[in-house]
Amino acid sequence: MSEEQDENPPVRSSDEVSENDFSDFLIMGADEIRKRLRITESDFLFLGRAHNSRGRSHYIYAILDEIEQVALALKLSHETLSEVPKDLPDDDLGRRLTRNTFSAIEREQALHIRKLTEVLVDLINFSETNSNSYYDHYLLYQELVEHRQRKNDYIRYFNCENRNTQFSIDLTMRSIAFAETQLQLDKCWYLSGNSPKPRGKAALGILH
Is residue 25 domain-resident?
yes
- Domain match, 28 and 103 both: yes
- Domain match, 40 and 62 both: yes
Per-residue pLDDT tens over the stretch 68-126? 999 998 888 877 777 766 777 888 998 898 889 889 988 998 999 999 999 999 999 99
- Domain match, 116 and 60 both: yes
- Domain match, 103 and 31 both: yes
Structural domain count, the chain: 2
Is residue 9 domain-resident?
no
- Domain match, 118 and 138 both: no
Is residue 197 domain-resident?
yes
Is residue 166 domain-resident?
yes
Backbone torsions φ then ψ of 81, nearest 5 degrees: -110, 0
**Is residue 146 over pLDDT 90?**
yes
Q: Determine the 3-state secondary structure of 80 from DSSP.
A: helix
**Is residue 192 over pLDDT 70?**
yes
Classify the phi-psi angles of 42: left when phi > 0, otherwise alpha if psi is within -120 to 50, otherwise beta: alpha
- Domain match, 167 and 93 both: no
Residue 56: domain span: 14-82+89-127
Is residue 47 domain-resident?
yes
**Is residue 11 over pLDDT 70?**
no
CA 104 – CA 106 distance, rounded (Å): 5
Q: Could you tell me the pLDDT band of residue 1, with boundaries at 50, 70 and 90?
A: very low
Is residue 31 domain-resident?
yes
- Domain match, 147 and 208 both: yes
Mean pLDDT of 40-59: 88
Cβ contact 94:85 at 8 Å: no
- Any idea how long the chain is? 208
- Domain match, 151 and 198 both: yes
- Domain match, 114 and 188 both: no
Is residue 52 domain-resident?
yes
- Domain match, 120 and 189 both: no
- Domain match, 134 and 123 both: no
Is residue 60 domain-resident?
yes
pTM over 0.85: no
- Domain match, 111 and 164 both: no
Q: Determine the 3-state secondary structure of 204 from DSSP.
A: strand
